[in-house]
Structure 1
Amino acid sequence: MAGLAGAPADGVAQYRRVVVWRHGQTSWNAAGRFQGQTDIELDEVGRAQAEASARLLAALSPGRVVASDLTRARDTGEALGRLAGLPVTVDLRLRETYAGRWQGLTFAQIDEQFPEEAAGWATGDVTVVPGGGECRLDVAARVCAAVEEHLRGLPENGLLVLATHGGAARVAIASLLGLPHDRWAVMSGLANCNWSMLEEMGPEKATRGLRWRLAAHNAGSLPEPVTVQEG
């Protein structure tokens, strides 16, 4: 899905936007290990990814940057904060899924040691508790609560950027869009340092239970905006 760049045409109402941004690569990402809440730093590739994507996101003039306290996400967020001239707020609710006994294992090891749990997790079951940690429903609830809090005071055309983690991002996006729990698996994961953008739809849509729409998913660049003519 293509990203949106630039300002809307004159006369078009502007609503708040949220960018959900995954951290850059770590050595555990490269090795295929389940990180969970283990505090792993960005590797050299990840640091370069953070700097490159921060330059793109800074062009959108963010109004607020919030990051998970885990080093890989906090350092990613701070790359944008430096360019945008913004402080980075740290929020533990943006942490990755706590996966208990799974953390540090490769995905092959998880499949071998926890076959039933792993099978349920792979289907996208939102109630599976990986490694005795927390389920997807719990993760989505805490991330979405953070979104609501950090949107407060943001102007109607403001942009909130969240530097978070792949699993946390995926379930938060699905929840914000109001997808049924058994359809959360249709959301693909974010690549390292890619992002998704959600836009508020305005009061006329909110009355029908629709608040957010997905403007960009798994984006890593900002193409020139296009004008779409209907009819």
Structure 2
Amino acid sequence: MNPPRTTPGPDRRRLVLWRHGRTSWNVQDRAQGQADIPLDPVGRRQARRAAPALASFEPAFVWSSDLDRARSTARELAVLTGLGVRLDARLREYDVGIRQGTTFAEFRRSHPEVYERFFAEENYRVPGAELPSEVDERMTAVLGDAAAALGEGRTGVLVGHGAALRSGLLAFFDAPPRMREMFAGMANCAWTVLEEHPQRGWQIVDYNARTLPGASSALADEMPPHHVSKDAPAPP
């Protein structure tokens, strides 16, 4: 992978969206949602190894989901930069309701009717869960606040979760839900870079960047139905 570009230009602002490291539930393909699952040993190593690349952006601030797996990832960057970490619950993963803790196969067996509607309806509310549109709303709000907090030529890092970050990214650009199919899931400890062009506005200049060979890309377990195929195998 090419090293990150650390100088966006004298006046360009930048947002870096960083997904947390691996957890044991990522390995088991279980929907984590807002369960407070910690990083596993591999996830802690991923965060430690990726942090220098994020530090090279010379961030002005670090905001993080308040869930442990994101906080622990953000902490590795804070150690290198000397910055405090601002916790923001708007950066949390989807609340997946009754899907929490299950694999897709378990979800299908235990709630077959809900499973079918989950894949058939674009903005369906799984019992106990957030609507995809509600996640889009809170993620758009926090990305907008982060952008507004940036001075000229400065970078902000937001640490969160795969499904919410990808949904929030598309919502930030007001893209229709069907366009999410164009983007692969963000790998554990991968990041996406947005940069503000002086004429064209915010642009995606890097997506799913990572420093780790063979990093896991598992995230589909959190996704609403327009993100995954019900006939597809569980994510790696």
- What residue is the counterpart of 2:6 in the other structure? 6
Percent identical among aligned pairs is 39
What do residues 2-28 of structure 1 show as CA deviations (whole Å, max 9, x unaligned)? 7741325xxx55311111111001111
Q: 1:172-206 CA deviation, whole Å, 9 max, x = no partner?
A: 1111223122322322211100011111122x32x
Matched with 1:64 is: 61
The question of 1:175 aligning with 2:165 is answered: no
2: CA distance, partners of 1:63 / 1:39: 27
Matching of residue 144 in structure 1 with residue 140 in structure 2: yes
Task: State the TM-score, normalized to the length of structure 2.
Answer: 0.82
Name 2:74's counterpart in structure 1: 77
The one-letter amino acid paired with 2:155 is L
How far is the alpha carbon of 1:90 from its aligned partner? 0.2
Q: Provide the rounded CA distance (Å) in 2 between the counterparts of 1:94 and 1:52.
A: 22
For 1:36, the equivalent position in structure 2 comes to: 33
Partners of 1:119 and 1:173 lie apart in 2 by 26
What secondary structure does 1:197 align onto?
A: strand
Secondary structure, counterpart of 1:215 in structure 2 = strand
CA distance in structure 2 between the partners assigned to 1:196 and 1:40 by the alignment? 23
Task: Specify the alignment match of 2:51 in structure 1.
Answer: 54
Structure 1 segment 188-227 matched on structure 2, within 5 A:
188-202=184-198, 204-205=199-200, 211-221=201-211
TM-score by length of 1: 0.84
Q: CA deviation at 1:164?
A: 0.2
Range with bigger deviation, 126-135 or 76-85: 126-135
Could you say if the C-alpha distance between residues 170 and 151 of structure 1 is closer, same or farther in structure 2, counting changes exceeding 3 Å? same
Q: Give unpaired runs (5+ residues) of structure 1.
A: 206-210, 223-231
Shift of 1:76: 0.5
CA RMSD of aligned residues (A): 2.2
Instruction: Please report how far the alpha carbon of residue 156 of structure 1 lies from its aligned counterpart in structure 2 after TM superposition.
Output: 1.4
Residues matched between the structures, number? 212
Aligned counterparts of 2:203 and 2:94: Cα–Cα separation in 1 = 24
Select 2:84's aligned residue among 84, 87, 90.
87
3-state SS, counterpart of residue 94 of structure 2: coil
For 1:19 and 1:161, how far apart are their aligned partners in 2?
A: 5
